[in-house]
Structures are given as C-alpha cells and as structure tokens.
C-alpha cells in the first residue's frame, strides 16, 4: 500500500479503501444469490480463448528456448567429438590427410568465433533461431500482460457498475416510502413542532432524499460509462488477437523449418564425406586382414591344417562370412542360414558348377564339431557379409 504523502492523499486513500470494501460486499451478495450479476457469455468465451492462447504461446516460447539451448549443447558436443576423431585417427590409417582436412573444415564451420568472415553453420543456425523464431514469439507475448491487466480492470469496473446499479434500484424502491412518511409527521419532533415548522422539516427531508437519489443516479451513469468503454475496447481486441495466433505460429515454425533444412543440408555434405572415409577405412582393414590371413596360411606348416587344433580349417577354405538374413533351403544341396551364423566359404570342386551370386560353404559350428565337410552346401552370397 502506498504511503500517505508520497503521491497518495488521505482522501484518495480513503476512497480506494471504500471501493475495495464495496466491491467485496457486492461479490459476497452475488455469491449468496442476493444480488444479480452482469454476465456476458460471449465475452467470457473471449477471455477463455485469451487465457488458452496465452498459455499455449508461453509454452511454445519456453520450448523454443529449450531447443535453442539444446542446439548450443549439441554444437559444443559436436566440436569435442570432431576433436576426438582427429586425435585418435592414426597416421597409417587410410585417408589420414583427408580426415584431417575434413575435421578442420567441420570444426571451422561449427565453431570459429575468431573468423568474422566465416559463415559458421552452427552459429548461424543458433542466431537465426534467436532472431527469427524466438523474437517473433517474444514480441507476440509482450502484448498479453497489458491486455490481461485491462481484463482484470474491466471485471472490477463491472462489479462497481453492479454495485451502483443495485444502490440506485434500492433508492428507487425506497423513494415512494420515504415520500409517504414525509407526508405525515412520524417523529416526536415533528409532532411537537408547530404546523408551520412541520412544513420546513418535510421540505428538508424531501431535499435530502432527492440529493441522495440524484447522487446515486450520477454514480451509476459514471460507473456504466467506464465499464462499457473498457468492455467495447476488449470486445474489439480479443477476437483480433485470437485470429493473429495462426499467422504467428506459421511464421515461427516456417522460419525454424527453413533454417533447419539449410543447416542439415550443409552438415549432411560433411557427414557424407566422413562416412565415405570410414567406409574406405573398413575396406582397407578387411583387405589387410585377408592378405595377412592368406600369408599366414601359405607359410604355416602343413601339420597345422591336419592336427585337429582350433586353428584347423577345412580343405578349400577361402574366407568367412556372417549371415545377415535368414535363408530357408529349398533343395538338398543348399545351406540353411540363420541370422548371425558364421559360414566357412569353400572353393567349388568344379568351378564350372558355381552359379553367379552363389557360394559354397558350411557352418563353422558344424565344422568345429565334426571336422568333416558332408554338411556343406550352396547359399546366396547377398544374404551374408564378410567378417
């Protein structure tokens, strides 16, 4: 409450206190059903829409800020991951120079605060979220507090209007009774007064009654005018604000989607280059493994193939594959596969019998168990991958 002497006089303070007491009394009477309340179903629906609109807009704003924070976090995490890749990539691995150049490019595009002329993808993406989508929502929501305050003021003025209306109606009802009482002496003072004095007393009472009635009528007119002015303004603004929500959401998410598309399109190019290098590195690893295995098999003593140890391999062994799809045998010479089976690929006894896309082999588990090749069969090559 404001202190007296600091912009608020004692008279104004008393008026404000009286207003609050009168409003409180009026609301109590309305809740008890002893006084009717001005109701406007259409306006109440507008207010419900306003509250819904404000809640939804606030949620979009909050989630946009969370998304913006997540982009910054992902930005930092991506840079650290690229640094890690550059550090652990060994010099003799395939594409070392290409990898270093790619990582440098990705880091430069992701986080280069010192190069003012560099159009960094992450920073540009983050800034566009702030400048376009988030600021649109901030500006949109900035108007809600003022309108909310005016709705609350309109509700208070409606209570003042109802109170003035009820007070005036009460005086109207009592006016005739007062006039009837004034017409004949009702008090001891009037009975004791001489006849000429009784007329003066009656005239005074009539004047007092008319003064109260006129004051109440004036108060009612003033309260009604204030309420209706606020009411009309809000009835114009609330539907217009409700309709604007569609355009705001379209602009916000259309802008966000556009910047997302641009960002991911540029980053996908770099990601594809990285994937190509990793694919070539894996191919190199498999080639080296096969070469090392062939060299070991060529230089190993013959006894190592026939001594029954775990390293023993069937005659005609070429390489191993792993089943990546199930295959049901449809003929007696076919090998049935389950996902994950390790198959030892064998050379055909007669190369002319090999059909395109088909391999000869047997499951490693059966070989280790029986050490004989009677369970071998043909199977589709594209159902497997080299290991």
Question: Full-prediction pTM beyond 0.85?
Answer: no
- pLDDT of 13: 65
Could you write out the three-class secondary structure of the chain? CCCECCCECHHHHHHHHHHHHHHHHHHHHHHCCCCCCCCCHHHHHHHHHHHHHHHHHHHHHHHHHHHHHHHHHHHHHHHHHHHHHHHHCCCCCCCHHHHHHHHHHHHHHHCCCCCCCCCCHHHHHHHHHHHHHHHHHHHHHHCHHHHHHHHHHHHHHHHHHHHHHHHHHHHHHHHHHHHHHHHCCCCHHHHHCCHHHHHHHHHHHHHHHHHHHHHHHHHHHHHHHHHHHHHHHHHHHHHHHHHHHHHHHHHHHHHHHHHHHHHHHHHHHHHHHHHHHHHHHHHHHHHHHHHHHHHHHHHCCCHHHHCCCCCCCCCCEEEEEEECCCECCCCCCECCECCCCEEEEECCCCHHHCCCCEEEEEEHHHHHHHCCCCCCEEEEHHHEEEC
Chunked in runs of 10, what are the mean pLDDT values of the chain (387 residues)? 54 66 67 66 93 95 91 83 82 81 67 40 83 89 94 88 82 66 51 51 57 81 89 93 93 88 83 83 78 62 45 88 92 91 92 89 90 90 91
In CATH terms, 36-281 corresponds, of 2.40.30.10, 3.30.70.940, 1.20.1270.60, 1.10.3720.10, to 1.20.1270.60
CATH class of 312-386: mainly beta
Domain boundaries, the chain: 1-29, 36-281, 312-386
Give the pLDDT of residue 74: 84
């Amino acid at each position: 409450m404001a202190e007296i002497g600091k912009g608020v006089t004692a008279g104004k303070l008393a008026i404000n206190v009286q207003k609050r007491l009168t409003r409180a009394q009026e609301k109590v009477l309305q809740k008890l059903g002893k006084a009717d309340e001005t109701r406007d179903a259409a306006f109440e629906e507008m207010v419900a829409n306003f509250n819904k609109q404000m809640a939804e807009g606030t949620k979009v704003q909050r989630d946009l800020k969370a998304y913006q924070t997540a982009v910054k976090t992902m930005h930092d995490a991506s840079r650290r991951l690229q640094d890690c890749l550059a550090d652990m990539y060994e010099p003799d691995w395939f594409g070392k120079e290409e990898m270093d150049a790619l990582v440098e490019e990705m880091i430069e595009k992701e986080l280069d605060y010192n190069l003012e002329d560099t159009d960094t993808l992450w920073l540009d993406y983050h800034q566009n979220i702030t400048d376009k989508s988030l600021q649109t929502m901030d500006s949109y929501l900035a108007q809600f507090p003022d309108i909310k305050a005016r709705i609350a003021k309109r509700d208070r003025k409606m209570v003042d209007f109802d109170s003035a209306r009820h007070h005036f109606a009460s005086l109207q009802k009592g006016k005739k009774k007062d006039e009837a009482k004034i017409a004949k002496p009702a008090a001891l003072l009037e009975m004791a007064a001489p006849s000429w004095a009784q007329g003066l007393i009656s005239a005074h009472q009539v004047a007092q009654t008319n003064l109260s009635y006129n004051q109440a009528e004036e108060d009612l007119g003033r309260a009604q005018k204030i309420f209706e002015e606020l009411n009309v303004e809000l009835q114009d603004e609330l539907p217009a604000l409700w309709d604007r929500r569609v355009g705001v959401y379209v602009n916000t998410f259309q802008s966000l989607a556009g910047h997302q598309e641009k960002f991911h399109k540029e980053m996908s190019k770099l990601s594809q280059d990285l994937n190509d290098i990793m694919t070539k590195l894996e191919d190199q690893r498999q080639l080296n493994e096969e070469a090392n295995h062939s060299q070991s098999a060529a230089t190993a003593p013959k006894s190592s193939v026939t001594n029954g140890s775990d390293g023993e391999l069937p005659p005609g062994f070429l390489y191993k594959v792993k089943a990546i799809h199930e295959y049901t045998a449809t003929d007696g010479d076919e090998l049935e596969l389950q996902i994950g089976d390790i198959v030892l690929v064998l050379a055909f006894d007669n190369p002319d019998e090999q059909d395109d896309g088909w391999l000869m082999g047997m499951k490693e588990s059966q070989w280790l168990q029986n050490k004989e090749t009677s369970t071998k069969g043909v199977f589709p090559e594209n159902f497997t991958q080299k290991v």
